[in-house]
Amino acid sequence: IPTLISSKGEFWFGCKEGILAFSPDKLETRKYNYKTYILDFRINGKENPLMGTPIKYASEVKVENDQSTFTIEFVALDYSNRDNISYEYILEGYEKEWNFNGNNRIASYTGVSPGKYKFRVRSINEVDSESLSESTLTIRILPPWKSSWYTYALYIIIIGIIAIISKLVMMLIKAKNEAYIKRRLSELKIKFFTYISHEMRIPLTLI
C-alpha cells in the first residue's frame, strides 16, 4: 500500500476510495483499572483454621489470640505491566501510616493485640504514580477465653446461681430453727403443766 508521511507526522495511505490520513498522536491510550486482590492469609505459615470461605471471597477473618502472627499475600492483575507496579498497605487500628512495599506482595504482622482491624492494600503504577485499585479485609483477633464477653456472662450467671442457692439454704435453716424452737416450747409447756398438776394433784388441763 502506497504510504507517505507528512511534515506533521501523519501517515497517508492510498486506497480505492482515495487517501486515508492517520495521525498516531491522536490515538487514545485506554487505561484499565486492574483490581488488587488479596490472595492468601496464613497464620505461622499455615492456612487459617477459622476460615469458612476462600480468602479472595471473604470480607472478614477471625484469628485466635495465640495465633496473632500472620501474613497476607496480594496482587494486582496487570500482567503486562507487573514490573512497574508497587504496593502499599496499612492495618487500620494498629498502624497510623501506610507501608510502602515496593514490588513485594506480602505483608507480615506479629503479636497484634485482640481487637477488630481493617487491612487495606493498594497497587500503584510506578510510571505515573497513579493508584490503580484497593482491596480491604477486616481482621478480628479474638480475646483470650478468660476475658471474652461470654466468659464474663458465664461468671455472672454462676455467681447469681450461688447467691440464690445460698439464700434458699439460709431460708431453710431459718425455717428449721423456727420449727425446732416451736417444738421445744411446746414440749416445755407440756412439761410445765404436767409438773404443776402433779404437784397440786389436780386434773391436767392442757390449753
Q: pTM higher than 0.85 for the full model?
A: no
Query: What's the confidence (pLDDT) of residue 173?
Result: 85
Residue labelled with grid coordinates 404437784: 199
Query: What's the confidence (pLDDT) of residue 137?
Result: 94
Nearest-angstrom CA–CA distance, 52 and 66: 19
Beta bridge partners of 86: 124
First to last CA, the chain: 140
- DSSP one-letter code for 57: G
Query: What's the confidence (pLDDT) of residue 197?
Result: 67
Q: Which amino acid is at 62?
A: K
Burial of 93 (0-12, 13-18, 19+ CB in 10 A): middle
Sheet with 11-15: strands ordered across: 3-5, 11-15, 18-22
Query: What's the confidence (pLDDT) of residue 62?
Result: 86
Query: pLDDT tens digits, the chain, 207 residues: what are they?
Result: 556 666 666 766 666 666 666 666 665 555 556 788 898 998 887 776 555 667 777 888 888 877 778 999 999 876 666 677 899 999 999 999 999 998 899 999 998 989 999 999 998 887 666 666 889 999 999 887 655 566 677 778 888 888 888 888 888 888 888 888 888 888 777 777 776 666 665 554 545
Nearest-angstrom CA–CA distance, 151 and 31: 54
